[in-house]
Chains A and B, each alone.
Chain A
Amino acid sequence: MAKLVTDVVCPFCGTLCDDLEVGVSDDGTKILEVYNACAIGAEKFLHSQAKDRVTRPRMKQEDGSWKEISYDEAVEYTATTLAAARKPLMYGWSSTNCEAQAIGTEIGEMVGAVMDNTATVCHGTTLIAVQDVGVPSCTLGEILNRADRIVFWGCNPAHAHPRHMSRYSIFPRGFFTGKGAKGRKMVVVDPRVTDTAKTADIHLQVEQGRDYELLTALRVAFKGEWLPDTVAGIPKKTIYEVADIMKSGRFGIIFFGMGVTQSLSKNHNIDQAICVTRDLNEYTKWNIMPMRGHYNVTGSGEVWGWLHGFPFALDLSRGFARYNPGDTTSNDLLVRDEVDAVFVIGSDPGAHFPNSSVKKIWDLPSICIDPHLTPTTAVCKLHVPVAFVGVETGGCAYRMDNVPIECRKVVDPPEGMLTDLEFLERVTARVRELKGA
């Protein structure tokens, strides 16, 4: 008979579902079943049980083979590499807890690193736009209970945030939304006919790279001004109609994703989408929220926000915090040869950065802290496997609406394995010795 651990938080996407139930073996060492989670979330729990899991640090040898080393040796290599570097890049941070992010930032301060998180290739542009024009937002609970107008712009939650629509945005019945999906109007803006778009009341199949024009057209339509016959491939009649639908709701929300943050116009798309939201608040209540990807990318922005005032692309090299995406962002630094060591934690730039950046990681002294085997672990010199946060250790994570949720530990990690936090604490102590800080 298996034990059931309830109220487990899913450490996969920014939706941070907190209603999972995990069946573990009687001795509490093995995960047998995962209930309530989406396919991706369940896989994350089950993957921690993989038989071929790497459980000790590995150092790449001259001939390209890997040699198992002790955690002590891994701490020494990490600390000496970071302490010797003049401008190390400490990247990732999005799939670990806030406690690890905070102690990691302490290392960054001591060695004068550039700290960057996955927002740099994701919602960093959102953060730029928020700094430019502010953000009217809310929590997912408010959306569940109040929203009757839902816009998904350049995002596909049906696949990327699989339980988002059923838990918060489209299907659930809340306090003022007793009719569930029937009481909601759903608009999807996407150049592709995605599975999310198929469930929408209205799908605006915008021309690729013309979101900025379409958002502008909506603002023009709110004011009843003249529009060209088509904007971004959408007839003006449809634009006026959608503008009316948006204005006529009681409570609206724009969710947006990579389709607008990382396509042409980037931060300007979000800037304009926030202005659309602001304009709509002249008529009714509207909000806007980024569909954050990694389960704790929001948290790393929060941690750096309260420690140094900037949510990503944080340059501590001169002893004080500086920030300017385009200059202090990971890919710019790597491609322009501005860093001399790379430290990666809780992220996979090897899979998501351009090849030109990944080649630079390959050339530099590099450390990757990750429970999985990834393209990043393959290009780095040192791979330090750690316990899974949210499965084998707890810690704080922030949901996409900036709500902090404490993750739960379900099982013990394999014997002798360290957590992110334990490993970083040891590196911090060693860096402090080396730097005399």
Chain B
Amino acid sequence: MATVTLKPIKVPDLRLEADNIKPDAFAGKKAAEIADLHVYCGNSQYPLGEFFEVAGEGGATAAETEVVIDGDVSRVKYIGMKMTAGSVLVKGNADMYVGAWMEGGTITVNGDTDAFAGMGMTGGEINVLGNAGNYLGAAYRGDWRGMQGGVIRVAGDAGSDIGTFMRGGEIIVNGNVDVHVGTHQEGGTIIVKGDAKSKVGGQMVEGEIYVFGDIEVMMPGFQHIGDVDVAVDGVSGRFACYKGDMGERHPRRKGETIYGKLYLKY
């Protein structure tokens, strides 16, 4: 695995759009070539090297390339967007769209991420060791396909609207979440180990949501159908199981109506 290290040397005055910071763009390139890749600040284009000191070189393919950002990039958007393989490590905070539409590989952010991380992702893994912002694993505006595959893990809290239009994959939040969890969810699993505020599973068609803590206000479209003993992400326990959202449409398969499932830990 070849490593490319980017050391931030200048804080962008406006935010930087750096969709080129991903193993796919760095693979097969020397440090100087990587420093020559473009980034945008508003309507102006700059070489990546103006904002980062580049060391090392990319591997032969994206899968053999590791990108390490050695510092804070809380004003840099689109890190790891649409990446297909390899890995990205951010040693500080990152701005919006981390791993948006990513297909494979691993992104680790040691700090926080802003909104839209993992938006519409189909595969790969995102680890956020701090807190995640709003719209984690959600869909782009107007798209009915949110996160479709892969795993997002957040060690801290997450914001609102996580897993909107989610159709597959897994989101695991260790801390608390804000309003709107799994709105329009049609598949996949969301696990919240802390508390959720309200609007959990609104307009949910199918898929699963687990909440270990409390939900301040339950949605009226969920009906209690019994209790189950299950193991969730290494934690086993007794959960109250609800089906819903009863106001929403639901598919029928093999003569059975499929509902979304909401599990609340006792």
Q: Which residues of A contact B (CB under 8 A)?
A: 85-87, 111-112, 128, 131-132, 210, 212-213, 216-220, 222-223, 225-228, 231, 264-265, 268, 271-272, 275, 279, 317-319, 323-327, 336-340
- A327-B96, A338-B14 as given contacts; A272 in contact with B43, CB under 8 Å: no
B221 and A85 contacting across the interface, CB-CB below 8 Å: no
What residues of chain B lie closer than 8 Å to A226, measured between beta carbons?
223, 246
Contact A264 to B246, CB < 8 A, known contacts A85-B42, A216-B219: no
Task: State the Cβ distance, A318 to closest chain B Cβ, in Å.
Answer: 6
Which B-chain residue is minimally distant from A326 (CB atoms)? B115
Give the contact stretch, choosing among B48-56, B61-69, B135-143: B135-143
Which of B96, B203, B245, B247 is packed against the most chain A CB atoms within 10 Å? Answer: B247
Encode B199-227 as 1/0 by CB contact (under 8 A) with A. Answer: 10011000000000000011111010000
Are A268 and B180 within 8 A (Cβ)?
A: yes
Which residue of chain A lies nearest to B119 when distances are taken between CB atoms in the complex? A324
Which residue of B has the minimal Cβ distance to A231?
Answer: B220
Q: Which of A223, A265, A324, A337 contacts B140 (CB 8 A)?
A: A324
In the complex formed, the residue of A with least CB distance to B134 is A326
Chain B positions 124 through 142: 1 when the CB is less than 8 Å from some CB of chain A, otherwise 0: 0000000000110000111
Contact between chains at A212 and B141 (CB < 8 Å):
no
Is A318's CB under 8 angstroms from B179's CB? no
With A223-B247, A338-B14 given, is the CB distance from A131 to B142 under 8 Å? yes
Question: Is B233 interfacial (CB-CB < 8 Å)?
Answer: no
Specify which chain A residues have a CB less than 8 angstroms from the CB of B199 in the assembled complex: 212-213, 265, 268
Chain A residues whose CB sits within 8 angstroms of the CB of B44 once the complex forms? 86
B183 close to chain A: CB less than 8 A: yes
Closest partner residue, chain A, to B43 (CB atom): A112
Cα separation A339 to B202 with both chains bound (whole Å): 35
Q: Is the CB–CB distance between A323 and B141 below 8 Å?
A: yes
* CB nearest to A110 among chain B residues: B43
Cβ of B43: which chain A residues have Cβ within 8 Å of it? 86-87, 111-112, 317-319
Tell whether, in the assembled complex, residue B202 and residue A87 are in contact, meaning their CB atoms are under 8 Å apart: no
Q: Are B246 and A268 in contact (CB under 8 A)?
A: no
Tell yes or no: B41 within 8 A of A by CB.
yes
Q: Is the CB of B217 within 8 A of A210?
A: yes
Most buried by A among B42, B77, B140: B42
Say if the beta carbon of B256 comes within 8 Å of chain A.
no
Contact between B221 and A216, CB atoms less than 8 A apart: yes
Q: Give per-residue flags for B154-175: 1 if the beta carbon is below 8 A from chain A beta carbons, else 0.
A: 0000000000010000000000
Tell me which residues across on chain B come within 8 A of A268, comparing CB atoms: 180, 183, 199, 202-203
Q: Which residues of B contact A265 (CB under 8 A)?
A: 179-180, 199
Chain B residues 105 to 124 lying within 8 A of chain A, measured CB to CB, are 115-116
Q: Bound state CA distance, A10 and B98, in angstroms?
A: 47
Contacts of A112 in B (CB 8 A): 42-43
Q: How far is the CB of B37 from chain A (nearest CB, A)?
A: 15
> How far apart sit A319 and B40, CA to CA, in the bound complex (Å)?
12
Measured CB to CB, the closest approach of chain A to B253, in angstroms, equals: 19
Which residues of chain A have C-beta atoms less than 8 A from B220's C-beta?
A: 213, 216-217, 220, 227-228, 231
Q: Which residues of chain B come closer than 8 Å to A317, judged between CB atoms?
A: 40, 42-43
Known: A87-B14, A327-B96; 6 extra A-B contacts, CB below 8 A, are A128-B141, A228-B220, A271-B183, A271-B203, A326-B135, A337-B14
A159 and B151 alpha carbons, distance in the complex (Å): 50
- Give the chain B neighbours of A213 by CB distance below 8 A: 198-199, 217, 219-220
Q: Establish whether residues B202 and A216, one from each chain, have CB atoms under 8 Å apart when the complex forms.
A: yes
**How far apart are A275's CB and chain B's nearest CB, in angstroms?**
7
A327 smallest CB distance to B (angstroms):
6
Given A111, A220, A272, A338, which contacts B15 in the complex, CB threshold below 8 Å? A338
Residues of chain B in range 216-251 having any CB-CB distance to chain A below 8 Å: 217-221, 223, 245-248
Cβ contacts under 8 Å, A111 to chain B: 43
**Closest Cβ of chain A: how far from B167's Cβ, in Å?**
14
Given A216-B247, A220-B220, A336-B15, A325:B42 Cβ within 8 A = no
| Whole-angstrom CA separation of A325 from B135 in the bound complex | 11
